[in-house]
Amino acid sequence: MPRRVRDPQSRDQLVDAAWRLVAQQGPNATTLRGVAAEAGVTTGSVTHYFEDKAALMEAVLRHNGAVASARVVGAVGRKRGLAAAEQAVFALLPLDETLFRCWQVWLAFWSHDPGPVREGGFLEGYREWATQLGQYLKEAVEDGELRPDLDVRHEISVLGTLVAGIGLLAGSDETGRTQMRRRARRIFGEHFQALAARV
């Protein structure tokens, strides 16, 4: 009997289809059959790559985190210190279609019990983001952009709370995105200015 080969590209297409559905209707309403229809394949094609719905939902969460992480990495580029910290914050906000979808997925998993999803959730990605943000803030202290006695851990918590708050507001309201973009730029602009002014 010939061995069944799993095509990574086909798997990625299924994850992307599931990602879109979870953003639109939440994880509970997203079914393997619905994902198959969204991707234009049979349900058997989905079960070929994912043993059950939980495995697919884990893949959706990992994909969601990877999309957000890639956006942050791309925005930061070769910047360091305060400029890198600002980019790491702004890049995570749901101010365009892609990040809006990321936040829809996170919000959907927060507001529904998706069952036994074991890994790939928001906190996993948040810890990575917070670690990197801490590195940028330490660079800003080393470079004299921020005061030497800055409580970096506290500042990570403050910025994380602001990002989460704006993410909750903007991630649930597509119509107010332009207004939220202006508001976010002002909030974070003033916050980073105040931090720098204390040097």
- Looking at CATH, the fold of the domain delimited by 61-197 is given as Tetracycline Repressor; domain 2 (1.10.357)
Q: What is the rounded CA–CA span in Å between residue 59 and residue 12?
A: 9
- The pLDDT assigned to 2 comes to 37
Q: What is the rounded CA–CA span in Å between residue 69 and residue 129?
A: 8
pTM: 0.85
- Structural domain boundaries in the chain: 61-197
In this prediction, the residues of the chain whose per-residue pLDDT falls under 70 are 1-8, 112-121, 171-174, 199
DSSP classification of residue 116: S
Residue 25 burial (10 A CB sphere; 0-12, 13-18, 19+): middle
Rounded to the nearest integer, the mean pLDDT of the chain is 88
Q: What is the rounded CA–CA span in Å between residue 45 and residue 10?
A: 9
Tens of pLDDT, residue by residue over 42-95, are: 999 999 999 999 999 999 999 999 999 999 999 999 999 999 999 999 999 988
CA separation, residue 91 to residues 55, 71, 178, 199 (Å): 28, 6, 15, 25
In 3D, which of 164, 169, 194 has the Cα closest to residue 181? Answer: 169
Answer for the pair 137, 84: CB distance below 8 angstroms, yes or no: no
